[in-house]
Amino acid sequence: MRTAEVRPDDVVLEIGPGLGSLTLGLLPAAARVTAVEIDPRLAALLPGTVASRRPELADRLTVVEADALRVTELPGPPPTALVANLPYNIAVPVLLNMLELLPTLDRALVLVQAEVAERLAAGPGTGVYGIPSVKAAWYGDVRRAGNVGRRVFWPEPNVDSGLVALVRRPPPPGDRQATFAVADAAFAMRRKSLRAALARWAGSPAAAETRLRAAGIDPSTRGEQLSVTDFARLAATDPVPA
């Protein structure tokens, strides 16, 4: 709870509570916990687990049986913090979906596969910097918050895990969807210069060069050198007239 910096007035969103071990730790620290669980059996069991182990805190828990990738709204007070052990195969889309859906989330601490943690927290110019890095940075400042070895889990997974912390800040000026689209295009051919990688996005290599120069970006640069602010500025440049 210390790493998550959960406060007594927080409404914590937990994704995939499973058997409730993390939930039982969150409930004493927060005002409320909203737990989203896709498995009907586990969702049905969780209130009983809390009632038997921490009955005095049972009224702080709300369980939502739902797919975190398909949630469009949540009951009760809006969450202020996300704390979750995210399934490795959907960690990035779940995190991004919740950050977009719930602007009241001002902090997140998620446990993900170590490789995913590196990508989420990577900065421009590093080898693992890519689309997850850019998109997470749209929402806030991201950092690695610790490593978790595989031996602390049962059954023991085949990968190590890492903690990623995000603190919300205002996004850069620009449109999110347009910014993500140009980042997707840039990293689809990350070995190529932006002039070449963005040719389809802009309409032609020449149009890509014109828009890059208008944004103050060297056309020979690769996407891995641009920050989320650079991508937002590039997305906002006017298309070249046909």
Q: Are 164 and 144 in contact (CB under 8 A)?
A: yes
| Measured distance CA(66)–CA(74) in Å, rounded | 10
Instruction: Kindly report, residue by residue over 148-188, the tens digit of the pLDDT.
Output: 755 554 445 667 899 999 999 999 999 999 999 999 999 99
Q: What is the pLDDT, as a whole number, of residue 149?
A: 56
| Measured distance CA(28)–CA(181) in Å, rounded | 42
Instruction: Kindly report, residue by residue over 94-143, the tens digit of the pLDDT.
Output: 999 999 999 999 999 999 999 999 999 999 999 999 999 999 999 999 99
Planar angle of CA 127, 128, 129, nearest 5 degrees: 95
| Measured distance CA(2)–CA(122) in Å, rounded | 23
pLDDT at 93 over 60: yes
Q: Which of 147, 77, 153 is nearest to 118 (CA)?
A: 147
- Tell me where in the chain the CATH 1.10.8.100 domain(s) lie: 176-235
What's the CATH class of domain 11-168? alpha beta
Instruction: Kindly report, residue by residue over 194-239, the tens digit of the pLDDT.
Output: 999 999 999 999 999 999 999 999 999 999 999 999 999 999 998 8
More confident residue, 101 or 89: 101
Structure tokens, 58: 């049972």
Q: What is the pLDDT, as a whole number, of residue 157?
A: 63
What SS3 class is residue 230? helix
- Fold that domain 176-235 belongs to in CATH: Helicase, Ruva Protein; domain 3 (1.10.8)
- Tell me where in the chain the CATH 3.40.50.150 domain(s) lie: 11-168
Q: What is the pLDDT, as a whole number, of residue 3?
A: 61
Q: What is the pLDDT, as a whole number, of residue 154?
A: 47
Instruction: Kindly report, residue by residue over 5-27, the tens digit of the pLDDT.
Output: 899 999 999 999 999 999 999 99
Q: What is the pLDDT, as a whole number, of residue 213?
A: 97
pLDDT at 1 over 60: no
